[in-house]
Amino acid sequence: MLQRLLLSGASVLLGTALGATLPGLRSGASTGGSTEEEQERRRGLLDLVPVSPGASGAVMKYGFPSLANVKTRESYVTSYDPRTRTASWVIEKLSPSSLSGPSDRKYCDFKEDNSVHVFHRATNADYRGSGYDRGHLAAAANHKWSQKAMDDTFYLSNIAPQNPHLNQKTWNNLEKLCRSLTKHYLNVYVCTGPLYLPRQEADGKLYVHYQVLGQNHVAVPTHFFKVVILEQADSGGVELRSYILPNQPVDENIPLERFLVPIETIERASGLLFVPNIMKRTSSLQARTALSSNPRR
């Protein structure tokens, strides 16, 4: 049974099974099956992904949410959407060693991504005077271990138009929360991306409307998602937290737990898949939602 949740006027379908431990979730269900060619392609991509400092696991340990236009950087892996001029998703691996180091963002500049065709590329001019911040998907502060790693987070392909109040307040608090989790979990993987969600209008029909910026028509997301995969040191299990925030001012006094949603909500809205890949790596997946409790912050 599904219930409808309205997030800032956007209609999203949510599952009712919240906060449950999910042993073998979807393991018995068909996921479509990968062909040998696709499996070989995945293995080839894994050979290219970066490894976080001080850790042996690759960034993409829990698989690719999608395989279109995958790019690797010093500090993250991303899938770029040339239609929106932003990434579909960006994945990072956070650890205490990646969060500390000599890097300083004052030496970083927002820059075009020359690996993207000029027809499909965002520029700084697109953002100028728009009223939107250049919001990081992979956060600069997550990659202090290397100046090059931090520099890479300033490619405009890692940026999306973000409401200034959201970017500087609640979203920033969510990024800080992700960094703090490295103190309590063995490894922390973070996947971030934009969403373009429908809204019901006066005629009763659902429409997807979003603004575009500049001559290159950079899409302004209606919402952002963040999926956090947490490896538990004691049990060897995996905890999953998934958030959706509207791209508008959000009262920073609202607890971040209020923005937790079932992972299925993000999978349906984004066209990405997370759980099938995660379940290939663990037999125990615990999904935390607003109705579940956990003493670790």
Write out the catalytic residue numbers.
Answer: 136
Using DSSP's 3-state secondary structure scheme, residue 178 falls into helix
- DSSP for 179-203, please give it: HHGGGTSSEEEEEEEEE---EE-TT
CB-based contacts of 274, cutoff 8 Å, min separation 6: 62, 63, 65, 191, 227, 229, 240, 263, 266, 267
Hunting for tokens 């989790």 — which residue is that? Answer: 181
Contact by Cβ (8 Å): 48, 42:
no
Hunting for tokens 């898949």 — which residue is that? Answer: 273
Residue of 286, 263, 259, 265 whose CA lies nearest to 275: 263
* Rounded CA separation 149/111 (Å): 14
